[in-house]
Structure 1
Amino acid sequence: MSDTLTTARILTGRGIRLSRRNPDAVITSMMLPVMLMLIFVYFFGGAIDTGTRYVTYVVPGVLLLCAGFGSASTAVSVSEDMKGGIIDRFRSLDVGGTPILAGHVGASVARNLLATVLVFGVAFLIGFRPTATPLGWLAAIGLLVAFITAISWLSAAAGLLARTPEAAGGFTFLMMFLPYPSSAFVPIDTMPGWLHGFAEHQPVTPVIESLRGLLLDQPVGDTPWIALGWCAGLLALAVTASESLFRLRTR
């Protein structure tokens, strides 16, 4: 186990170095959520009634959108490794699939945390004022890290499933789409009735509602536990699928 963790840590460093060699993708994954936040706040915020300042309402959704953009690049990185032949070299060094994929996921989490800091910084500049307690901040950060980790593993599985890096890039579409039919940008009760069931019971909504409540020091009930349940379920599914797909691709 210690050898696996050490190898995963080393490969996480490799993933971060690879990110530095592709600054365009990193900058895009960081700046696009910020731009969308500014567009929603300044272009549409005045027309959307959420019962509070719109920037206060929208920031949790933008954080998840940011996490989605950042993690989607993991699919491309994994697909490039599978196509480029580096996996054969790793296997000749007796490096298994789990630490290889964990390295990609670790790099994704690191990139996403940096992007999250950027989103928070811009949000503060345009008027976001959280009132979370220290415990609330810890809970919000922990939940966000859990969500990022889960979707990063899901992205790694998508990279193994795709046959080309270009096809793996299509995973970005799902990450872009999922926050929209949720409570990220507008209250669910303003949506058409036929959409309520999906919007209320998809994985993104409880995460957003939990982050919003924790950051604003509002009652959250059992919503964070539901959100963690979704994260744990997605993580278990993604890790299992990734290991099976890796064996299929390298046998």
Structure 2
Amino acid sequence: MSDCTTRTGYTELGASILARAQALAAHTEAPGMMTRSFLTPAHHAAAAQLAAWMAEAGMSVRRDAVGNVIGRYEGVEPGAPALLTGSHFDTVPNGGIYDGNLGILLPIACVARWHAQGRRFAHAIEVIGFAEEEGVRFKATLLGSRAIAGAFDLRVLDNTDAAGITMRQAIDTAGLGYSCADLDAAAMAPARMLGFLEVHIEQGPVLLDAGLALGVVTGIAGATRMQVEVTGVAGHAG
């Protein structure tokens, strides 16, 4: 295969990823903008679409207790530890169509290419569509990755959305699970993982200003959020 043929193939692959990002953006709660919060009909539709693309790429697909969509591309030896990759598919209100989604769609496309070529690796590859990161609906963040890490906080199950629905009720309605057994099954033991790699849009000017398509970061911002209740008497000047 010539260099030109290879470059053409990658260009087509990139175009297909961007087209899928547009298709996934159709699953939104608000026409004309990208809004997709945890366990809404739009969220379930996006999960189903991701699962279909994973299966089409040659992966076995499962959805865990909190709604993470996980596709596994088996290695040469079945049951081998996996290199994990992925990102979240929920969004902030009026979010971008590539935030999170690109980190799921790109590895699905890579696995599809390897599957078509008949390539297997010494390790498995697992692509994870994390069900929740943003904390929009229930004011609790990183639910998908917390479940994978075995760090899900059961106290947030009683958080309510704007309509008064608890997270517990939403999970029940979705046919998912929040029991200790369900969450234990969702957690991944470190021995099952070789590492985690996330592809993400830059959300900053460095690569753009340098005219570069790709960069490798040396650190990322951590996320800490707190809910504070202040009790007192209103008084503008004290």
TM-score by length of 2: 0.29
| Larger-gyration structure (1/2) | 2
Q: Which has the higher strand share?
A: 2
Which one scores higher on RCO, CA 8 angstroms, separation ≥ 6? 1
Higher helix share: 1
Provide TM-score, normalisation by structure 1: 0.28
